[in-house]
Chain A
């Protein structure tokens, strides 16, 4: 399995996927630095604490709005053609006739993607938090910090598992489109929830929007996890910026659902792959 994991890292490095992402992330961080600086309250008055708290939330919201998208697209576009694409190209045929069980190949690829994108996500999280802290200060509650980091990272295996499952079912390009739309649906679910929270509507309409938002978030929980993560990290301050982190934060049940979603997608993908004719 080590060979498969190493081959996955080698692929991501050689195809310059990670390099391009890192360079663009550095550029974004430069821009984000100025944004954070602009948003931050200048001066050190204790009466500004509430405003400072809100502005920190806004800065983090903007940072993770970008961060959520980048991690999602990196996870999707690095793994969307892993099974069908390699089978179409004939790469898999020469590998899977070697004396290795199919499950090892699948798990090796999964670990390869999750570990590398997870490491990138960790760096991204740290960069966004550090830049925000430099301009607007940061909470010293390391427990919240750790929980929000975990929530940010949990989106990676969810996306990779769904993407690999899709590549067992659809062609490479087809799965790329499918996964982008699935992620888009989850993101839309979050947006519906945010719109509901600040739009003055009748209670019935509000309830319907809430249900639609929840159902869409269940299709792909990555964006929901991001919203929950921001809620924990900003300690609720994000609610004051409706289009970024407004609306009710996803519940603990949603987080558990996300873990079950990941496990289900992973196991189903593995099961399909073992039975797939190549």
Chain B
């Protein structure tokens, strides 16, 4: 596939890209476009084919069918690889080297030498929080530290497209937050991000668009907000509530109000005959005005409103719903 690069060229483009292994696994017919400067999240259960797809993009796996390009250059070509940084999912760096030496080797592979290499190595190690521990051997690094080193290596060439396969899976919460902030900063600087992650909050916080893969096929694709676009569910903790008031509330408000199970950490509400005991009500509302109207009706009837809050659907819920009921090939055959 010979594509001539130009300013309007997407960062990533694939057309029917497939990789079918002998055991039938892999991924099939993936057509995808990611714009320059966009942050794209790639989701899917284990064994869905996400890593295979990314490996084709970075030139590690040869496609069975289809074609793809990075910034207009055919995937796997030297020119395409000149513009990317890649953090593999399963990786280790040579244990007998120090973090700095690993970085210097990668600088050499990128053609960065001398004083510039020294500066970039130092900056890179500082950027991911390794700092002075760069002079320690890799065998003394924890998994999280190795992941930071991997990220530093991926960023070393100041890539236009950054492919990250589970970038913070081995990190502690502080490390994850740092990585997330780093990704947001890179996004602000215009780097195209392609994020394979099981950590939904990373995808939700960083990505503009996302796709869901299942059993080697891309089953959904769209913007994160669009994919999560559902009516906001509101919850109300009400005291002095009687079951007979539920129908009245529905009639007066014209909304589908229902009993709700107490959430974890909010377990003092229950539905029962004890009128004094607070209960939880739930309703899907379009905007805050409807919530205000419902509040007013509750108070108008002499009930006590203890708490009200909007409950947005999390990406994790969306993900579970999206794959629910579908056969998954998982990690086994």
Contacts and interface: CB of A to CB of B under 8 A. Distances in A.
A7 B62 CA distance: 26
A99 B58 CA distance: 10
Contacts, number: 74
A90 B92 contact: yes
A6 B106 CA distance: 12
A3 B117 CA distance: 13
Contacts of B55: 93, 277-278
Contacts of B79: 99
Nearest to A105: B109
B60 A278 contact: yes
Interface stretch (B32-40, B83-91, B175-183): B83-91
Nearest to B52: A277
Contacts of A95: 106, 109
Nearest to B150: A94
A100 B89 CA distance: 21
Contacts of A91: 91-94
A30 to B, nearest CB: 29
A14 B59 contact: no
A10 interface: yes
A11 B93 contact: no
B59 A101 contact: no
Given A93-B86, A94-B91, A94-B150, A100 B109 contact: yes
Given A96-B60, A277-B60, A90 B91 contact: yes
B211 interface: no
Contacts of B62: 275, 277
A97 B108 contact: no
B92 A93 contact: no
Contacts of B88: 90, 93-94
A46 B157 CA distance: 72
Contacts of B97: 10, 14
B1 interface: no
A98 interface: yes
Contact of A14 (B81, B93, B96): B96
A96 B59 contact: yes
Interface in B153-173: 153-154, 157
Contacts of B59: 96-97
A97 B154 CA distance: 10
Contacts of B245: none
A211 interface: no
A11 B81 contact: no
B61 A98 contact: no
Contact of A98 (B87, B101, B109): B109
B295 interface: no
Contacts of A100: 78, 109
B312 interface: no
A42 interface: no
B60 A101 contact: no
B82 interface: yes
Given A15-B96, A90-B88, A91-B91, A98 B60 contact: no
Nearest to A90: B91
Nearest to A16: B96
Contact of B60 (A10, A97, A99): A97
A89 interface: yes
Nearest to A87: B60
12 contacts: A3-B105, A3-B109, A6-B108, A94-B86, A94-B87, A96-B60, A97-B58, A97-B59, A98-B106, A99-B82, A99-B111, A277-B19
Given A98-B81, A278-B61, 18 more contacts: A7-B105, A11-B94, A90-B91, A90-B92, A91-B93, A93-B55, A93-B88, A94-B150, A96-B60, A97-B59, A97-B81, A98-B109, A98-B110, A99-B78, A99-B81, A99-B111, A100-B78, A100-B109
Interface of A: 2-3, 6-7, 10-11, 14-15, 89-91, 93-101, 275, 277-278
| 6 residue pairs, one from A and one from B, having the closest CB atoms | A90-B91, A3-B108, A14-B96, A98-B109, A93-B88, A97-B86
